[in-house]
Amino acid sequence: MKKLILGCTLILSGIIGGTGWLIAHACMQPNSYPSLIDSLTGSDGSVIVLFYAAALIGIILCIADVIDGKKK
């Protein structure tokens, strides 16, 4: 149960953080409409990837906890 709560927290924080960073990056470009590929280059891209990686780790933890719970 603790892994499930941790996994859900990681999913929420990863998705909210990554999406917020993408929105902030898009708003900082004054006269252009950046594409998603432009956002993933440089240091901003590494931070965005880290946020979404945390969300993927959360998904894996949740699935592992549900599978372990069904075996018992």
The Cα-based distances of 3 to 17, 23, 62 in angstroms read 21, 30, 7
- Burial of 27: CB neighbours in 10 Å, binned 0-12, 13-18, 19+: exposed
pLDDT for 27: 79
Neighbours of 69 (CB within 10 A): 11
Summarised one tens digit per residue, pLDDT across range 8-53 is 999 999 999 999 998 888 777 666 666 666 667 778 888 999 999 9
Query: Quick one: three-class SS letters along 5-36?
Result: HHHHHHHHHHHHHHHHHHHHHHHCCCCCCCCH
